[in-house]
Amino acid sequence: MRSSPVPTPGVPSSSESRTEPHRSDPPYVGAVAPADAEDVAADAWLDVARGLHRFEGDEQAFRAWAFTIARRLLLDLRRSRARRRTDPVDPGELVAAGGVGNVEEEALTSLGTGWAIHLITSSLSPDQAEVVILRVIGQLGVDEVAAIMGKRRGTIRVLQHRALRRLAQVLQGEGVTP
């Protein structure tokens, strides 16, 4: 008779220790591709699960690896959309069809994190926004962000510096103390 390990309160199991700290990953995906956040995040986690047996490294390396997978899926999605032709639709037809607002997006923007992500993505260039989100929400280091984005460390530092300076200007303009 094989005994299973008894869980110790407050001590995560091996599977929890790999997934629990990464619950903040979906906001990154949601910030970069709000309409496709759930699908991309689900696909990313499936790819992580499929490749977990090959992964070696610590928590920080795991975090960087998971973000790299999510980012590559987002890039693939953008490329496939760029190749796909769409027919333009008159906005009046959409309003007449109903469902004017996006409930999920409205709920996110009413929350603190949603507001911050909205501020970041609407005020910064895509590269600056991605750097800030990966560094702050993803809690990744400069080296990991550089590897994920395929840029040099110095470029990441400059993007982050300019992004934070721009956010400070925006927040001062809104009467918010940074």
Q: 88-123, pLDDT tens digit by residue? A: 777 776 666 665 566 555 554 455 666 778 788 889
Q: What is the pTM of this model?
A: 0.50
Positive or negative CA dihedral for 151, 152, 157, 158? negative
Domain at 26, CATH number: 1.10.10.10
CA pair distance 6, 177, nearest whole angstrom:
48
The answer to whether residues 74 and 38 touch, using CB atoms and an 8 Å cutoff, is: no
Identify the DSSP state of 5.
Answer: P
Within a domain: residue 167? yes
- The range of the structural domain enclosing residue 168 comes to 21-85+111-173
Domain count, the chain: 1
The answer to whether residues 106 and 34 touch, using CB atoms and an 8 Å cutoff, is: no
Q: Does the pLDDT at position 137 exceed 50?
A: yes
